Structure 1
Amino acid sequence: LKDLFLNVNGLLQFYLRNILSKGIEKFMLVHAERQ
């Protein structure tokens, strides 16, 4: 059960990092266009 939890935790962190980096890229692009 502990291994499963660690696995899920790793996947969640991976997805969150992915989403965050994509969101930051979009934000930077929009911000750059405004200047």
Structure 2
Amino acid sequence: MEKSYNDGEEFCIEVATIGMIHHVNVVRLLGFCVEG
């Protein structure tokens, strides 16, 4: 089993990665909220 990140760290890493993608078929990510 892989080590999981605490407090949504893995989610934040994924969002940061998606935010850096520039492709004609991908909508640009402007922001997100981690609080429910």
Q: Name the TM-score, length of structure 2 as normaliser.
A: 0.41
Q: Which has the higher contact order (CA 8 A, sep 6+)?
A: 2
The structure with the greater share of residues assigned to helix is: 1
TM-score where L is the length of structure 1: 0.42
